Amino acid sequence: MISILLSSSTTTTLLPSRPIYTSNPPYFSTKTTRIRHFNVSCDATNGDQNQNHNLSPQNVQTSQGKIDRRNVLLGMGGLYSASSLIPDIAPSFATPISPPDLAKCSRGTNLNTGEPLDINCCPPIAKYTDYKLPPVTNMRFRPAAHLASKEYIAKYEKAVQLMKELPDDDPRSFTQQAHVHCAYCNLTYEQKGDPELKLQIHNSWHFYPWHRWYLYFYERILGKLIDDPTFGLPFWNWDNPPGMVMPDMFAKKDSPLYDPLRNLDHLPPALADLNYAAKPSDNSKVIQNNLTEMYTEMVRGVSKLEDFYGAKYVVGSTPDPGPGTIERGSHSSLHVWVGQATKSGEDMGNFYSAGQEPLFFSHHINIDRLWTIWRKLRGSKPKDFNESDWLDSSYVFYDENARLVRVKVSDSLDQDKLGYSFQEVDIPWLKNRPKPRVKKSKIATTSSAPRADSVFPVKLDKVVKVLVERPKKSRSKKNKEEEEELLVIEGIEVDSAKFVRFDVFVNDEDDKPDEIDKAEYVGCYSQVPHKNSTGVKSKIRLGLTELLEDLDVEDDDKILVSLVPKANGDDITIGGIKIIYAS
């Protein structure tokens, strides 16, 4: 038997460059340290003498051989939810991600150097209660930022100013709201049930629901500060040409919406570049590339849920299992396009500081809008995962009344119940299916490129071209409806402290990497810099079915894949490429 000690003791370390709370907020008391003991049986095998609960990161050796450590941790899944700072909950055998123990929030560690991070984004400590969605009596209206009225802009500026004037130790303050994103995104929390692993809600199926809840409470706090229950955050309509310029309300230097830590070269009238780092030649190319990127992210490559949402991530999983199309594409590109004013990319150009940039919230409001659009485009297809590992995952946020509340993924799916709507605007990318430069290309049969299985792993310090075998060809319409053909790029290792990006092309004869407005472009991988490094391998899946139809090469037994580094290729290593079929 193992006796596990849980304590509410915690240490606060001050931030050198950002103000944080310097004492316990007046809403809560943390003076009492309560200690509980839990006895956990670890008798996994007959007569097992090894009772050490410090499990290895990947697997555990038993008399039956190696088993996935997640299976060992199933019995501990709910154990840590019984800490002294949150309500008592019986141990659970499920594996959904659950709220972290705020008392165990740490500064985090750079896994490359072993040094502690120079930031502290830990929130005030409190007990949480389960959040109940209030009845919707007034819908919150979210306007397109470039179409917002002067009256609305004045109201928004007042709300943000009032938020910035709140004491830093108020969990509703601008500083603390920024820390929410920092803490959940920079490996500062332990996974409950698996203290050896840290919590990260990016690059997985938590990306959309977590950010939706984050925006929901941020918006409600602003609305309460100006006593307007209909107030909604504006969305930066960067997927539509009229909205691709940074909204003017964020570019006024005397406004609380302004942030000096931006790339000043990208203020209006510069066009937002969803393919950032490709450096297209003129504005017309930016717009066309943007529309192609949106079509690829929202239509072409997302037949299966995992390809849009990102990979599954549960207790026992290492962080960053694999981002979905928008997260690894337009989301990351615009973070860095806005924030790459300094080497570390502050504010919006780095996860830890992104919440300090008011434009961050309008950027993510648009992503939330795109999630809504994508679900509607699915029609009769499954719109979401039906697995409890996703639906029962939960997070904690401070609401507009400074109460710490727990929310579930399952409660975030119905936008009407959350009580907000978006302004209707054009969606031009829906009609922007890219055309091939070359149909029936024979380049896969004439190329001298090596076979994929003879190349990897490889550093992406130059363009890498490989031939990839197709296990199936000449598939029927029914086959295609039942199974999506996917190009899987796996074992992706990067220096996550840097912005990295590479693009992927199939049977591309042009070799013009700055131009993605062609059917040969299959997708990209890009990543917003972290203050820390995760030190794990990730993967992406790229939809091929429609692309191969457009190129008219469905009968070919292999394709030529080009990996084109766009940013910091020296810091990207690819482990392998293969084609799979997902039902």
Binding-site positions for Cu cation read 181, 202, 211, 331, 335, 364
* Residues 94/185, Cβ–Cβ less than 8 Å: no
Rounded-to-integer distance, Cα 502 and Cα 494, Å = 11
Q: Please state, in angstroms and rounded to a whole number, the distance separating the CA atoms of residues 432 and 143.
A: 24
Q: How far apart are CA 504 and CA 526, in angstroms?
A: 11
Please tell me what DSSP assigns to residue 314.
Answer: -
Residues 6+ apart with CB under 8 A from 522: 296, 301, 487, 504, 505, 506, 542, 543, 544, 547
Q: For residue 579, what is the DSSP state?
A: E
Numbered residues of the known binding site: 181, 202, 211, 331, 335, 364
Which pair of structure tokens corresponds to residue 517?
Answer: 């407005």
Instruction: Kindly list the catalytic residues.
Output: 181, 202, 211, 331, 335, 351, 364
| Tokens 């990497």, located at residue | 513
Measured CA to CA, the distance from residue 14 to residue 370 in angstroms comes to 38
Pairs from 301-304 (Cβ < 8 Å, separation ≥ 24): 301/325, 301/522, 301/523, 301/541, 301/542, 301/543, 302/374, 302/543, 303/484, 303/543, 303/545, 304/484, 304/486, 304/541, 304/543, 304/582
Instruction: Give CA–CA dist 221/231, Å, rounded.
Output: 10
DSSP letter string over 200-218?
--SSSTTHHHHHHHHHHHH
CB atoms within 10 A of CB 230: 12
Residue spans of beta strands (DSSP E) within 150-218: 190-191, 194-198
Query: Hey, what are 172's tokens?
Result: 């509703």
The encoded tokens of residue 51 equal: 């009772």
Q: List the structure tokens of 278.
A: 């490709």
Phi, psi of 547 (to 5 degrees): -60, -45
The 8 Å CB, 24+ separation contacts for 504-507 are 504/542, 504/561, 504/562, 504/563, 504/564, 505/561, 505/562, 505/564, 506/544, 506/547, 506/548, 506/551, 506/559, 506/560, 506/561, 506/562, 507/438, 507/441, 507/443, 507/444, 507/551, 507/553, 507/559, 507/560
Which ranges of 340-406 would DSSP assign to H, the alpha helix?
A: 358-377, 388-391
